[in-house]
Chains A and B, each alone.
Chain A
Amino acid sequence: MFRTLTRRTLTGVAALAATGLVLTGCGGGGNEPAALDTEEQITLNYTFWGNDDRAARYDKAIAAFEEEYPNITINDTFTDYPSYWEKRQTEAAGGGLPDVMQFDYTYLRQYGDNGLLLNLEDYFGNGVTTDAIDETLLATGTLEDGTFAIPTGYSAWSVFQNPGLLADTGVEPYEGGTSWEDYDAYMAAVTEAGGGTVYGGTDTTQRIQDLELKLRQQGRELFTEEGELNFTQEELAEHWTEGQENRDSVTVPQSKLEEINPVSGFGGSITTSEMSWSNFLGGYLGDSGAEEITIVAPPTSNPDEKDLYRKVGLMQAASAQTEHPEAAAAFVDFLINSPEVGEIFGATLGIPASETQLEGANLEGPDQAVKDYLDSIEDRIGDAPAAPVNGFGAIEQTFWDLGKSIGLGAVTPEDAAKQFFDEAAVTLGN
């Protein structure tokens, strides 16, 4: 047949192939017909981000919910954090958001202000019990038009350590809350003893939270009250440059982290410490398989400054377009208030915001350690920053991607700072 291949055939094939370039959109989820009735079988879609550990806990929580509401079935799916939001964005555009979602404070404004979330205030006292929820925490889910999400709990920035891994290196644990020099010395000692397989920690300038901590230790914030960046391009370049010495010889090489992504260096048991939100404890235990993980306060350059804050992270929210708003509200209420859910999750979604859930949580072991940690840093806790600006999620991710690129030597701190500012100008300009 190829002897009679003609130009016309080729042109046709080429045109078709070129048409194939056009990216196809993704379909949204389905909608079930609505009818509110305790006899009626209702199916709700639920989605969350997390790892296997969290998934196992949700399975138990959902089973408990379905036992209490036999006519409601929960279909749950989960994914990792970045792709979680990519999926939600397409669903939001197509009108197919899941009925109930694990939500993030970072995205609250974007979704809540655009009418995509169910106003839970309509169900307060009538499906959603708010009496037991800490008022300041509850208020974080409130925007001008209503309350669109309820925080599961709170956490704070912290230093995690893996005592089992650390014991092999013979280095004393970092005591927490002392100077940055102390922490650097600790990381260097571990890396030296680790012989190229175990490192003391991960680059402490890589994430936007690292910069935020540094700024707050100087009495400043990431953003101005008007929602603009509260630091200069030069300061950012300097921030990233400060990490160079550690990146050269102390912290885990970024190339190793790229290989185990999406598990972190600490989760992958190649570093003995890592800074993150205190609610990461459960995930770390699951990822690393470590028997014990300890948690101490981050280093500080200014012990008198109230540099830490109670961070609302995880929230539960429902879609404005759900066919079963009452059922969705009941599920949100269950996830927030149920003592049973507290027992299942412990402190892995943050220290529970709801008093009833906190009692049910009956914190012990690592969860109690998180609670003890949060109590121990009481005098370093200051006011939380204002609600994240619209687009903060993208800014946070860009910062982290650039931080990683610097670690790989693919970009200089100066160029990265320029790219970050260009990017932020576009995002914040929207």
Chain B
Amino acid sequence: MTTDSAHAPATPRTAASGARPADHRRTGSPRPRRRNRDTVAGYVFLSPWLLGFVGLTLGPMLASLYLAFTDYNLFTAPEWTGLENLTRMAGDERFWASVRITLIYVLVGTPIKLAAALAVAMLLNYKARGTGFFRSAFYAPSLIGASVSIALVWRAMFSTEGPVDSTLNLFGITMGGWIGNPSLIMPMMILLAVWQFGAPMVIFLAGLKGVPAELYEAASVDGAKSWRKFISVTVPMLSPVIFFNLLLEMINAFQIFASAYIIGSGTGGPGGATNFYTVYLYTRAFANNQMGYASAMAWVLLLAVGVLAFILFRTSKSWVHYAGDSK
């Protein structure tokens, strides 16, 4: 990913790091010693995180990078196989099926979720009685949504003769349970994701509060109606926040695991319809003992998400407007 520091505003922190400590030492000023002490203290405070990062994230990541090029069944030592895992992946039908359903989930689910989040955020942006309550109420699902218990509740809700089925039956729509139906399980999974719109909603709400009221006033003076104001004022002013939410939610969506694992009984059921990328990766690793293949899958996912994020960043230049930008 690119670090486009040219656009970063000069903060006091970056200015300080630009100074050369050697100069201070030569002049014998008391400042460098304090800075050295500060630096040491800084690293001391940082060390718990640093240890965790190196030991629990970086180390395993590097190990999995090595394992991605091996045949490793957990029981015997890894055996170097070069690119075999990748070539096998290319011809693995279940792999491509899992890529397909994961992309559908991400590309359909994320925009719907963001649209819902923005819509509710705009409603909650009006000053009215009880908005505080509604903000909490709408935010709550995103706190608990990824939990096992919620997945179990959704399983029960969407079963045959469960609440959803019974309600639909009242309106004469009989499609039976969604849980056992391979073509209805994806809409249900997307609903479950959209229902958790609280986190992006709160960020949108914060962004909406930051849009200067005078811009809307100016637009009103120019005769703009509410839709026009939305398109020409709200969306451009909100674009950094939209971009931020889009990026985060997309990355989150790729990682869907717990709810899919529970709802699909851990086997990607029914009929492979919940065999999302991470579920398949897990199956390969822990049910089939193919750690090498699973590691390769993990890296392919990381690279794919990295490339998508990179593309998003590139396109963002044309539609994201930063308040700090000079242009």
Contact = CB atoms under 8 A, between A and B. Distances in A.
A121 B304 CA distance: 52
B244 A20 contact: no
Interface string A215-257: 0000000000000000000000000000000000000011111
Contacts of B4: 7-8, 11
A303 B297 CA distance: 49
B192 to A, nearest CB: 16
Contacts of A259: 155, 159-160, 177, 179-180
Interface string B52-75: 000011001100100000010111
A114 interface: yes
B278 A23 contact: yes
A26 B325 CA distance: 45
A185 interface: no
Contacts of A19: 57
A252 B57 CA distance: 47
A402 B169 CA distance: 31
B270 A254 contact: yes
B271 A11 contact: no
A422 B3 CA distance: 44
Contacts of B210: 1-3
A367 B210 CA distance: 73
A215 to B, nearest CB: 24
B9 A6 contact: yes
A116 B289 CA distance: 15
Interface string A80-123: 00110110011011000000000000000011001010000000
A18 B273 CA distance: 25
Contacts of A24: 56-57, 60
Contacts of B3: 8, 11
Contacts of A254: 180, 270-271
Contacts of B22: none
Contacts of A404: 269-271
B94 interface: yes
B322 A5 contact: yes
Interface residues on A, range: 35 or more
Contact of A11 (B1, B176, B266): B1
Interface string B134-167: 0000000000000000000001000110000000
A86 B288 CA distance: 9
Contacts of A20: 251, 255
B255 A110 contact: no
Given A2-B241, A18-B251, A258-B270, A114 B75 contact: yes
A17 B265 contact: no
Contacts of B306: 18
B182 A13 contact: no
B32 interface: no
19 contacts: A4-B9, A5-B322, A6-B322, A14-B1, A14-B313, A15-B1, A17-B248, A22-B60, A82-B267, A111-B75, A254-B270, A255-B180, A255-B270, A256-B177, A397-B287, A405-B270, A405-B271, A427-B288, A430-B71
Given A23-B298, A401-B268, A410-B272, 16 more contacts: A5-B323, A6-B9, A7-B313, A13-B247, A22-B57, A24-B56, A82-B267, A93-B291, A110-B75, A255-B176, A256-B180, A258-B265, A259-B180, A408-B270, A410-B273, A422-B93
Interface of B: 1-5, 7-9, 56-57, 60-61, 64, 71, 73-76, 88, 92-94, 155, 159-160, 176-177, 179-182, 203, 206-207, 210, 240-241, 243-244, 247-248, 251-252, 254-255, 265-273, 278, 281-282, 286-291, 298, 301-302, 305-306, 309, 313, 322-324
6 closest residue pairs by CB, A with B = A410-B271, A255-B180, A258-B180, A408-B271, A93-B74, A86-B286
